[in-house]
Amino acid sequence: MDWEQDKIQDYIIIKAEESGVNIIGLTRGRDTKFHHTEKLDKGEVLIAQFTENTSAIKVRGKAKILSRYGEIISGE
């Protein structure tokens, strides 16, 4: 698997530590735009994958984010 393909197939796990956590998918390409949103309540988990269309994922609120690079807590 080449680097570009590996980057596209990467994913993260997001667990809401409070209600109302917003997850926003951002597009890939010349102009970055919102293309998908989710709202999580406390304890809910979302598994998100980077794709040919998704280049970034924004997390707004307190959540535990797990990836192959480690763990981080947002919203602290």
Asked whether the predicted pLDDT for residue 73 surpasses 90, the reply is: yes
* Per-residue DSSP letter, 51: -
CATH number, domain at 15?
2.60.40.50
Give the range of the structural domain holding residue 48, as residue numbers without chain letter. 3-74
**Integer CA distances (angstroms), 25 to 2, 12, 15, 32, 50, in order:** 24, 12, 16, 10, 9
- Tally of structural domains, the chain: 1
Asked whether the predicted pLDDT for residue 54 surpasses 80, the reply is: no
* Per-residue DSSP letter, 53: S
Choice between 20 and 68, residue whose per-residue pLDDT is larger: 20
